[in-house]
Amino acid sequence: DVAFDVTNAISHATCTTAHDLGAKAIITVTKSGVTARQLSKFRPYYPIVGCTTEENVWRQLNLSWGVVPMLIEEVEDTDALFEAAVEAAERTGLVKSGDLVVITAGVPLGISGTTNMMKVHVVGHVLLTGEGVTDQVVSARLCVCKHLESIPKRFRDGDILVVRETNNSIVEYLRRCSGIITEESGANSHAAIAGLAMDKPVITGAEHATDLLKSGAVVTLDAQTGRVSAC
């Protein structure tokens, strides 16, 4: 059965992604309960929040290993669906604002056996957290570069620079940016020391920042709390 094979593949990929990223939970939106049961079959370390609009499915999911069933209202678009599912997960107490989760669902909505979508999501308006350096707050456009060599092509003066790590080869851009976010952690890291020397707001240890954040988005970097929030 092709639909079953796709559901199985997406479920396996969801569990693998949750493990690789250290997600707090897996959230699935399921019409028939099949996706939640498929996820359960892989015995992930993380809890599975099984959201459904069907009361009978909601009851049945209580019997599936690792699944916390939640009843949600039917919605008509994907964004609203994800929002409802995340809010349901928050009500369980398993996740909170700032936590990373992996969501799986199917499009078109409301049809059994269409699971074909996976999304990595940060709960709430907090996009990610890390270790703040200095107590400054800045709102600006993001320049996300997985490789330092791509900075000259993408960077604009005043951008918040998002990189895996910094070094002396990009000092010019560190001076011209309004803030720095790095995946590398440590108070003695190059980014932390450069931020203090240049009086820039810096967040270090922001796990998966170059995957979660997108160039061009405008965010608020709060170095005092170590949080990056959507504007």
Query: What pLDDT digit, counting tens, does each position of 78-115 carry?
Result: 888 888 999 999 999 999 877 889 999 877 666 666 67
Host domain of residue 27: 2-124
- Per-residue pLDDT reduced to its tens digit, 174-183: 999 999 999 9
- 24: domain CATH number? 3.40.1380.20
Number of domains present in the structure of the chain: 2
Report yes or no: 36 and 64 within 8 Å, Cβ to Cβ. yes
CA distance 154 to 144: 8
Domain match, 22 and 10 both: yes
Name which of 228, 77, 78 is nearest 160 in CA terms: 228
- Per-residue pLDDT reduced to its tens digit, 137-171: 999 999 999 999 999 999 999 999 999 999 999 99
Helices 2-21 + 34-41 axis angle, to 10: 50
CA distance 198 to 106: 47
User: Mean pLDDT, the chain, as a whole number?
Assistant: 91
pLDDT of residue 197: 96
Domain match, 115 and 16 both: yes
Domain match, 9 and 116 both: yes
